[in-house]
Structure 1
């Protein structure tokens, strides 16, 4: 019978003392180097030697031990969004994660599907994050904010249309997008304006305030706003285009560029002239929209960078007793092109 080879799990876990011994330095020096401590001056050759020893031994600093020394973790918790987001928001959140890592934070994404507001806050608090950036899908309550802070969170930041007591607020007012789109369509002489509401679950977080903004732009004018629903499929777009003339609409704000491109293609297949019979405008200013014929009118959304938000997280972590602030995260303006 052959002997089972010794598995890596059977080997002793390397310690900082092992790294110090191999590199010929103290354990304190190992800690300073591997934790990127800037308060202590250590020569670059020593840093290289310590990192090489750690890599050779397979040593990784223990997060819990580091947290005990610092009095808090370096975890920034990002509750995972369970809604489809477009390229604009994907780029923003990717940049945010890169910048947080650059600032030496550990980014943890947490699936919160099915959790209520306070239930989610309790689940997040169990991880003892130093900061929570809530993306707005779960609406934090003031009680949830206080629970997170009592559990060690120095920064609680919400992204959404409204601020929450005790938390820093990055306001993303989606109403501006709908308002800008409909104001542009009215300027072009359109009066019966459809506003597309995606059927996909979760997108009401964006579609409802965009519809509210569209209605605000039409309020007190002779323009009429008509919500229309559509799923992000060719079949659904074709079905809507097939009854378009029955609706009597002469324009549509199609939620965003992706839905607008899908609907515009279906309208053209149904021999509905764009923009002659129906004007179309999207949102997000995607490159592909400029390549269509007619070129797609859109609402350009101006957002602060992920780096800006990461630096805000870092600033609040360093000064947790500061007064919660409100920051406007985005602005919107129509970009007229051929489709409207």
Structure 2
């Protein structure tokens, strides 16, 4: 006969009524305190007593029940893209998540890998979010936006290089990064400029606008742009460096700092002087690039918003039905160092 230790029986799930009895307040007061309702005035000692009682009992509010009472959830859905996120996007989502939680929203990340535009919208709609913030790289169509709105989403917001009809847009115009990098090279006297285009799947959403921005700047400065496909591999970089002199380039915008460091090392190994023969600039201004020799020039990218991102989402949720808004988020400036 098995001699397994007895498992302690679990007690009943604590309720708001239990919290109210222990704290000596009404159930309504418990609800107001634990749901961070700021419309009702409750003293700090009472709030503290309710929270201590809830902690002692292990009680947490029931999100589904709260949603039923309110007629909508407090869930903001952040779909995960199919491409590697840049450091700026990591900072964006960290700031957004922290701010939304402060405003009592539940933030849920949704894995959307492999879903097409319509499948993704239906999958998100099943969760009944009050808002969706969809990053670039995930296709979102006007039809998908309509599905989300019919399911109760009060705000559908896209984050990417271009707005989508029917949705609010947080525009991060990556063309500005390519323009800024190329302008810097032009100011250094470079007129035959390569632009690295990563061959990795899903990076095109960033790379193509950066190339377009580089071409626009070059056209105004009488320069030539040469797209340079490159995989993030030493072998690919070495192969490109081996034919570098046949390309006749005197400058290169290497998409970002990771590709810039990879290519610069390969160029140096091939005997190409940086910046003597070829100036190199990246983007995102990573610390590691400053530790190289020569130190890597880069484009520093920053978010420029008139109000905190979470407050912006909250306002759009509270005021549904208005005309789609556009907010330009991205600012960029070249940081010159020894590689150019």
Smaller-chain TM-score range?
over 0.9
Distance, in Å, in 1 between the alignment partners of 2:250 and 2:261 is 17
Alignment of 1:1-340 (within 5 A): 2=3, 5-7=6-8, 10-219=10-219, 222-304=222-304, 308-340=308-340
The gaps in structure 1 that reach 5 residues or longer are none
Is the contact between residue 173 and residue 330 of structure 1 (CA under 8 Å) also seen in structure 2?
A: yes
- What is the TM-score normalised by the length of structure 1? 0.94
How big is the shift at 1:298?
Answer: 1.5
Is the contact between residue 274 and residue 280 of structure 1 (CA under 8 Å) also seen in structure 2?
A: yes
Q: Secondary structure at the match of 1:42?
A: coil
Distance, in Å, in 1 between the alignment partners of 2:161 and 2:270 is 37
Q: How many residues align?
A: 339
Distance, in Å, in 2 between the alignment partners of 1:179 and 1:285 is 16
How big is the shift at 1:67?
Answer: 0.8
Q: Secondary structure at the match of 1:113?
A: coil
How big is the shift at 1:222?
Answer: 4.1
How big is the shift at 1:4?
Answer: 5.4
Distance, in Å, in 2 between the alignment partners of 1:138 and 1:233 is 26
Is the contact between residue 193 and residue 251 of structure 2 (CA under 8 Å) also seen in structure 1?
A: yes
The gaps in structure 2 that reach 5 residues or longer are none
Is the contact between residue 93 and residue 306 of structure 1 (CA under 8 Å) also seen in structure 2?
A: no
Is the contact between residue 195 and residue 228 of structure 1 (CA under 8 Å) also seen in structure 2?
A: yes
Distance, in Å, in 2 between the alignment partners of 1:108 and 1:222 is 48
- What is the TM-score normalised by the length of structure 2? 0.94
How big is the shift at 1:134?
Answer: 0.6
Cα deviation 1:252-308 (Å, max 9, x = unaligned): 100011211221122112221100011101111223323322222222223236972
Rate the CA distance shift 1:203–1:237 in 2: closer, same or farther, 3 A. Answer: same
Distance, in Å, in 1 between the alignment partners of 2:19 and 2:296 is 59
Q: Secondary structure at the match of 2:78?
A: strand
Is the contact between residue 95 and residue 306 of structure 1 (CA under 8 Å) also seen in structure 2?
A: no
Cα deviation 1:218-254 (Å, max 9, x = unaligned): 2265422111122223333223222222322211100
Distance, in Å, in 2 between the alignment partners of 1:233 and 1:128 is 42
Is the contact between residue 95 and residue 305 of structure 1 (CA under 8 Å) also seen in structure 2?
A: no
Distance, in Å, in 2 between the alignment partners of 1:199 and 1:101 is 37
Report the aligned-residue RMSD.
1.9
Rate the CA distance shift 1:5–1:47 in 2: closer, same or farther, 3 A. Answer: farther
> Runs in 1 of length 4+ with deviation above 3 angstroms?
1-4
Is the contact between residue 301 and residue 333 of structure 2 (CA under 8 Å) also seen in structure 1?
A: yes
Distance, in Å, in 2 between the alignment partners of 1:130 and 1:252 is 44
Rate the CA distance shift 1:316–1:21 in 2: closer, same or farther, 3 A. Answer: same
